[in-house]
Amino acid sequence: MRIHQICARLKYGDAVTNQVMRIHEAATSWGWESHVYSTAHDDVMEEVNEGLPEYRRRYLKNREDLLVFHYSIYDRNHEFYDDSRNRRVFYYHNITPPEFFAPYDAFMAEYCRLGRDLIPSFRNCDFAISDSEFNREELLEAGFDAERTGVVPIIVDTGEMGGEYNRGLVEELSDGRVNVLFVGRIVPNKRVEDVVDIFAHYHHGINAHSRLFLVGTTLLMGYNQVIADAIYGRRLQGRAIMPGWPAGVTDADLRAYYRAAHVFITCSMHEGFCVPLLESMYFGVPILARESSAIPYTLGGAGICFREVDPPVVAEAIEELVTNEELRSLLAARGKARMEDFRPSSALRTLREYLSRFE
Amino acid sequence: MILVNGRELDEHGLRARVKLRREHLLYTPELLELLDRDLLAVMRESRDQGFASLHGLRRALDEEDEEKDRRREEGSRWRRLVSATRREQEEAEAKSGEPARPPAVLEPPLGAGGEAPPPQPEAKEEKKDEKRPPLRRMIAHVVTMRVVQGVGEGYFQQLKQFNIFATRELEILQRLLRSGNRGPYPGRDRRGGVWLSPRPAWSAEAARYAAGLCGTGAVVVGIPGHALVEALWEKGLLALAVDDHARAVAEAQSRFCPARYHPRPLELLEAARVGGADLLVVPFPECMEGPRLEELLRWAGRNLGAGGRVLLGRGGGEARRFPYEDGFVRFWPAAYLRGLLEREGFAVEEREEAGTALLLGEKGAEG
């Protein structure tokens, strides 16, 4: 069988790109002919992208071929999906609702709105895959046929997580202070300001020997300002730190932050999957997360969820997670067990089951 | 609601803890104000300032644009004037059959026959440029204009580039300004000089006052500069000075005072079996965690006899600068410290000596 994958951009390290590449590798290993196309790519992915014109010229009208269309942001490349005569699989990675971006970036908000408005137009696909149950529910709300939808979780390479880490940084961070960690893009839907608020209560009220690391890339100047103001307004200078600002940290440093962390916290209001939860599970870091969007699905009980942000109470929960060894061990064990559900082999098996119906 | 695997995780317990902390004044009014502060106003203020800076920059760029257009327009006018003049000159030459004299504005200093005319009295006042032939003058002017335009263009491009990165730069600048405490936040003056401030030290007067309270021997937990240990040491009253701050210990030792470094002072006190002391000085109780502080004061209750005193520093005034330094824990409310002392049988009195706020506990005869 010949399989084509189309996505908006191929960017090294990006979650959707990783998923595309895992599927590409798996399809090749199954003896299928696999091709990848995107509207844009970075230097690393240049060789992978065969170019959408090539797809149009050679494969667009092949009725026997299979097209997997990855959808994570609005892009004009949906025209290739519309024109394609292949059997079509719509792979939904979720698009952030525009209201989160509206106060900070009208352009981004408009792109999100366009992207979400377009979702119902993909109902005519032969099959729809999403990477979490939450995303699947969104598809059902958009009118997709439940019988022709399925879930294939993000394929996370645990081998990569166990890679080299910055040992010096781990030593530096293991100085007796409590390290509270947030990992993710610093964008409005992640509600990083809530994390800062909670940490302010923890730091000022419970344990001053603590610090917060906000690890991730930034996107919006206006929102960066909000976070900076939250940090200064709560008098957390030097206690709430954004390492590698604004471009984020290296993989080796990220692994070091996980290794040195005592608690992972996220207050995100909207997640399509939330890979950092899996990373925290891998490193045995207890998780404290807002019960929203795909988080409870991904967490699967391997962490503490809170529905409303009551900073003093959640701060007490951090203290509980830091000091209650029994609870930490329990959550670590549950995290390891939950990781098994996301093993690449089981995700790829499910994916093959879905795609094999087109063989 | 806090859930673990779908079940409540003792949420009531967590709420009870919050309540307990509030009741024990661990959330001071100042802290509550800080934590409950409406950040929207702060954000709005700083955002407005950012927009104002951007607006100013934009206006400067627009003015630069206008200036550039004006220069360009002037350049064109001058070129038009030169070409019109040359045209007229050529027409005059064609009519008369001999070279015409250029107009006054382009008048060369040479005569029609190419011989130098006799020097005129006003010729001395003519500019050197005006002595050149018209073509050379024109070329020189064009070259000058090109250079000016080129420099202007480069400057303009630099400004544009600056404009592209202006937002980023502004953000970084704001961060730098704030870290230098010149940011737009209230209370910045009070926090001035925080970043490089040394550990707060007691003045000589405060040190003398503390030394005056001691009769037989003093234990100092936390060294507030060399004045106190020196005053006690000179009187032969320093039983032990201990700190978990290596620099403070080193400074005291450099003045030959018996200071010791230990991360857990109480353990050292127990191990050293310090006896006969009648004064315990704890200049920085805010650097001690609650249980440790309680244990230390319990030790004082057990080991200081009748008339024994405990002197606690209060983290107010100058010591407000202290929170930013490593090792800071928290400023304990006076009520809490007073309660701890009273529990150990000390009568408590608040004092201020040489600008240092103190809490003095004195053990009665019955204690």
User: Which ipTM did the prediction report?
Assistant: 0.71
User: Residue B272: what pLDDT?
Assistant: 76
The last residue of one of the domains, among B143, B164, B185, is: B164
The dihedral region occupied by B181, where left means phi > 0, alpha psi between -120 and 50, and beta the remainder, is: left
Q: Can you name the CATH fold of A163-341?
A: Rossmann fold (3.40.50)
Query: How confident is residue B6, by pLDDT bands cut at 50, 70 and 90?
Result: low
pLDDT confidence band for B165 (50 / 70 / 90):
very low
| Residue B346 placed within a domain | yes
Asked if B213 and B71 sit in the same domain, the reply is: no
> Do B209 and B339 have their domain in common?
yes
Give the residue, A269 or B135, on which the prediction is more confident: A269
- Is residue B164's pLDDT more than 70? no
Cα distances (Å, whole numbers) of residue A235 to A30, A229, A242, A317, B40: 56, 9, 15, 21, 15
The per-residue pLDDT for A14 is 81
Residues B300 and B220 in one domain: yes
Question: Among the listed ranges A28-37, A311-320, B136-145, B355-364, which one has the minimum average pLDDT value?
Answer: B136-145
Two tokens at B351? Answer: 């004092």
More confident residue, A222 or A194: A194
Chain B's closest residue to A316, CA to CA, is B14
Contacts of residue A233 in chain B, CB cutoff 8 Å?
A: 37, 39, 42-43, 185
Is the model's pLDDT at A43 over the cut of 60? yes
Residue B261 lies in a domain: yes
Q: Compute the distance between CA of residue B143 and CA of residue A226 in angstroms, rounded to an integer.
A: 52
B198-223 residue pLDDT tens: 456 888 899 999 999 988 889 999 88
Q: Give me the CATH number covering residue B224.
A: 3.40.50.150
Query: Pairing between strand B356-363 and B309-313?
Result: antiparallel
From A90-94, A129-133, B25-29, the region with the lowest mean pLDDT: B25-29
B→A interface, C-beta within 8 Å: 1-6, 9, 11, 14-15, 17-18, 21, 26-27, 31, 34-35, 37, 39, 42-43, 46-47, 50, 167-168, 171, 174-175, 178-179, 183, 185, 323-324, 328-330
Task: Give me the DSSP letters along A293-332.
Answer: TTHHHHHTTSSEEESS--HHHHHHHHHHHHH-HHHHHHHH
Give the mean pLDDT of B147-176.
52
Q: Which of B164, B191, B226 is the last residue of a domain?
A: B164
The predicted structure's pLDDT at residue B42: 60
- Is the domain of B117 the same as that of B236? no
Same domain, B215 and B160: no
Task: Measure A314 CA to nearest chain B CA, in Å.
Answer: 8
Cβ neighbours of B1 in A, within 8 Å: 306-308
What residue ranges of chain A are covered by domains with CATH 3.40.50.2000? Answer: 2-155+343-356, 163-341
Tens of pLDDT, residues A294-345: 999 999 889 998 888 889 889 989 988 998 888 888 899 999 999 988 888 8
pLDDT of residue B300: 92
In terms of C-beta density within 10 A (0-12 exposed, 13-18 middle, 19 or more buried), how is residue A164 classed? exposed
Mean pLDDT (chain A) is 91
Domain A2-155+343-356, what fold?
Rossmann fold (3.40.50)
User: Reading across the β-sheet that carries A263-266, which strands appear in turn?
Assistant: A240-241, A210-215, A178-183, A263-266, A287-290, A304-306, B2-4, B7-8
Which residue in A195, A210, A235 has the most chain B C-beta atoms within 10 A of its own C-beta, making it the best mutation to test that interface? A235
Separation CA B46–CA B64 (nearest Å): 27
> What does the pLDDT look like over B40-96, one tens digit per residue?
666 666 556 655 655 666 666 677 777 777 877 777 777 777 788 788 878 877 777
Q: How far is CA B175 from its chain centroid?
A: 10
Torsion of CA B298, B302, B305, B311, to 10 degrees: -20
Mind listing the pLDDT tens digit for each residue in B251-283?
888 888 888 888 778 888 888 777 788 999 999
- What are the C-alpha distances in Å from B203 to residues A99, B246, B251? 57, 20, 15
Specify whether B224 is located in the same domain as B344. yes
Contacts A–B by Cβ distance under 8 A:
96
| Residue B342 clears pLDDT 50, i.e. is over it | yes
Q: CA A116 to CA A101: how far, in whole Å?
A: 14
Q: A238 and B1 in contact by Cβ < 8 A?
A: no
Return the ∠ at Cα B43 (arms to B40 and B44), rounded to 5°: 85
Structural domain including B64 reads 54-164
Query: In terms of pLDDT, which residue wins out, A177 or B336?
Result: A177
Q: What is the Cα B243 distance to its own chain's centre?
A: 28
Mean pLDDT score of chain B: 70
Q: Does pLDDT of B139 surpass 80?
A: no
B330 and A204 within 8 Å at the Cβ level: the answer is yes
A144 min Cα distance to partner chain B (Å): 29
B337 to chain A, minimum CA–CA distance in Å? 17
CB contact under 8 A, B50 and A320: no
User: Which of A46-60, B151-165, B302-316, B318-332 has the largest mean confidence?
Assistant: A46-60
Q: Which tokens go with A210?
A: 């603590």
Q: How many domains does chain B have?
A: 2
